[in-house]
């Protein structure tokens, strides 16, 4: 338990940030899942549409450091490659 005013404030900030970050991480995961479900269904148009919606969400996660910058780029790149390979 925090004993100083500054430590109490830090605890509050951490609690707030944790809530925001977990929600953001959840949005990133959900958007990726939607793309993968569309790929699995074999619907190229829906998959491309889902990726177009997921990409900004993934990038926002990277900016907020919820997901590493290179990991975000890698995810988008691999999803895009899988959609292109759907011919």
The confidence score (pLDDT) of residue 87 equals: 75
Q: How many domains does the chain have?
A: 1
pLDDT of 2 reads: 84
Structural domain containing residue 24: 5-84
CATH code for position 28 = 1.20.58.110
Per-residue confidence (pLDDT) for residue 65, from 0 to 100: 95
pLDDT tens per residue, range 33-74: 999 999 999 999 999 999 999 999 999 999 999 999 999 999
Run of H or E residues at 67: none
Residue 44: count other Cβ atoms within 10 Å of its Cβ: 15
């Amino acid at each position: 338990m925090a004993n100083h005013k500054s430590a109490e404030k830090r605890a509050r900030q951490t609690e707030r940030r944790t809530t925001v970050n977990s929600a953001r991480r959840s949005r990133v995961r959900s958007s990726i899942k939607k793309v993968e479900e569309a790929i699995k269904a074999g619907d190229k148009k829906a998959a491309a549409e889902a990726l177009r919606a997921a990409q900004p969400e993934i990038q926002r996660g990277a900016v907020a450091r919820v997901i590493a910058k290179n990991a975000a780029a890698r995810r988008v790149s691999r999803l895009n490659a899988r959609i292109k390979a759907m011919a």
